[in-house]
Amino acid sequence: MEALKPAPAASPFPEESVPWQDFQRGEHFGGRSRNLSAHAGPQPYQIGFCIEELPPGRQGCPAHWHVREEEHLYVLSGSLTVRIGSARHVMGPGDYVRFPAGQPVEHALFNHTGDICRYIIVGPRDPDEVCVYPDSNKVLVRSQGLLFNRDDARDYWDGEDQVTV
């Protein structure tokens, strides 16, 4: 994996100067992305702007919804199926969708075709984000770098039976 070298602040650069970052997890998840925000400097950035490619038969990431961040997706080429809650929608070039923050409706992207789908994904990069994964019953707390299983949820007062001051 090639390290990104930030460009000077407010200097234009061609998309092609940003190396692709590939990822794959098992047989079902995978793709590649160019994170233009991470390349643009200075860091940290507040708005993420990525160009991503989703190969045929792959899902980009597990279905999830964001507590604090909203995401915007714009398809450049190819087609994909977007899951929004229980609904499925086919998207193609020129199609756009917004995933609002704080609404407990999961979303996920799947390439149902035989061709690569290329799209832009834009959203804030909130260090305090909380992300919920309903299919696997997990919750991510980004600021702590922790992933919890929602089955372990407890009452607020659980374990608080003594004064600690």
Q: Please compute the mean of the pLDDT values over residues 130-144 and round it to a whole number.
A: 93
CB hemisphere CA count around 148 (13 angstroms): 12
* 47-86 pLDDT, tens digit each: 999 999 999 999 999 999 999 999 999 999 999 999 999 9
How high is the pLDDT of residue 44? 83
Q: How many CB atoms lie within 10 A of CB 81?
A: 16
Q: Domain-by-domain residue ranges, the chain?
A: 15-126
How high is the pLDDT of residue 8? 56
Sign of torsion over alpha carbons 95, 58, 31, 116: negative
How high is the pLDDT of residue 97? 98
CATH architecture of 15-126: Sandwich (2.60)
Q: Please compute the mean of the pLDDT values over residues 146-155 and round it to a whole number.
A: 85
* 103-123 pLDDT, tens digit each: 999 999 999 999 999 999 999
* 14-42 pLDDT, tens digit each: 999 999 999 999 999 999 999 999 998 77
The answer, yes or no, to whether residue 7 has pLDDT greater than 70, is no
Cβ atoms 113, 87 nearer than 8 A: no
Task: Categorize the per-residue pLDDT at 2 as very low, low, confident or very high, splitting at 50, 70 and 90.
Answer: low
Q: Could you give phi then psi for residue 55, rounded to 5 degrees? A: -70, 160
Task: Categorize the per-residue pLDDT at 45 as very low, low, confident or very high, splitting at 50, 70 and 90.
Answer: confident
